[in-house]
Amino acid sequence: MRLTVNGTEHEVDVEPDMPLLWVLRDELNITGPKYGCGIAQCGACTVHVDGFAVRSCQLAIGDLQGDVTTIEGLGTPDNLHAVQEAWIEQQVAQCGYCQSGQIMQAADLLAANPTPSDEDIDAVMGGNLCRCGTYPRIRAAVHAAATKLQGA
């Protein structure tokens, strides 16, 4: 089975019903996407498929259609995505476990809606849980990233 992750093509020998998250973490050693619940309830595993946020624990590799981007491919330390920049400036992360999922979901949110209201943010980010309760900082960072992207 072939898939493209962060611009690199990979070949993996797995059952087609293996969730994309397993393929990323266990087969390709791409460990930015996290396993939180495995049942679509936490968002820690969020990646992009053709730019859209998807819960990688839900997507069977056999059903994958499109290129995958993980947090590793969103930006680089030298060239951060605006959302990553805002996340650092606002010091959003506490333990950090949920944050790659949060950032991938927030990047998708801003691609779809460049000037989200608090209500929009809550509606989109409500599927991404944070045990550390960083929600107020997430909201602030989404607004900050929106401003950066507007200025860009």
112 binds ligand FES (CB under 6 A): no
**Beta strand segments in 15-70, E:** 46-49, 52-55, 68-69
Burial of 63 (0-12, 13-18, 19+ CB in 10 A): exposed
Q: Is 94 in the site for ligand FES (CB under 6 A)?
A: yes
Q: Where are the alpha helices (DSSP H) in the chain?
A: 20-22, 71-74, 82-89, 99-112, 118-125, 135-151
Question: Could you tell me the smallest distance in angstroms from the CB atom of residue 27 to ligand FES?
Answer: 17
Binding to other proteins by residue 57, rule CB under 8 A? yes
In whole angstroms, the minimum distance from the beta carbon of 31 to ligand FES comes to: 13
Q: Which residues bind other proteins (CB under 8 A)?
A: 16-17, 19, 38-41, 49-55, 57-60, 62-63, 65-66, 105, 111-114, 120, 122-124, 126-127
